[in-house]
Amino acid sequence: MADVKQSQQRNQVTVSAIETASPQPKRIGRVWLIFDKLGAVGAVLAAIAAPCCFPLFATIAGALGLGSVPFLRGNAPILIQAMTALAFVGQIASYRQHRKKGPLLISGVSASLVVVAYLMNYHVWLIYAALAGLTIAAIWNLVNTRRSRSCCPAGDMQAQSRAADRG
């Protein structure tokens, strides 16, 4: 009887230690999960701000008041590549969270299109396709995250695991 009580006390100490340690990794994980959205938005904004390089975006840029931003216009290729890499890192972090291969695959193809366009054979339509793919993947991850939150909130999972340990 005493052994059972000691075992329960050890389990409670272990569970409480895990519960106090868990908020920090969740906060760090959330930062990584923002990268896919930040990278996609940054790459699209860099392309929109350089209408000389991306004529399809010239009207959108004019409507947003970004006719031509000198800093972005000169650095658009570098910024698009950097934001694409950031978005891909964010997609990897999102994949590790929800294990959905679709957004990661689309993001990988988009990153490959950017590499091909800037390092091998430049064609503006490759960049357009890559930016569209990054945007689709970021939206898909956002939908996956919202669905997983509504399906099983973290508080309910912790309560269910504690109930299972006690029973």
- What confidence tens digit (pLDDT) does each residue in 14-59 have? 444 444 444 444 554 677 778 878 888 888 888 877 777 787 787 7
* 147 in any annotated domain: yes
Helices (H), 99-153: 101-115, 124-151
Q: How far apart are CA 20 and CA 11, in angstroms?
A: 14
**What one-letter code names the amino acid at 70?**
P
* 13 in any annotated domain: no
Q: What is the pLDDT of residues 41-53, one digit of tens each?
A: 888 888 877 777 7
User: For 152, which DSSP code?
Assistant: S
pLDDT of residue 120 exceeding 90: yes
For the stretch 63-93, what's the b/e string if a residue is b when 16 or more beta carbons lie within 10 angstroms of its beta carbon? eeebeebeebbeebbebbbebbbbbbbbbeb
* 31 in any annotated domain: yes
* 15 in any annotated domain: no
* 129 in any annotated domain: yes
CB 48 within 8 A of CB 57: yes
**What one-letter code names the amino acid at 20?**
T
Q: What is the pLDDT of residues 74-86, one digit of tens each?
A: 788 888 999 999 9
Total residue length of the chain: 167
Number of structural domains (the chain) is: 1
Q: Which two tokens stand for residue 52?
A: 């000389």
* 17 in any annotated domain: no
CB 106 within 8 A of CB 137: yes
**Domain housing 76:** 24-166
Q: Which two tokens stand for residue 103?
A: 């957004």
* 109 in any annotated domain: yes
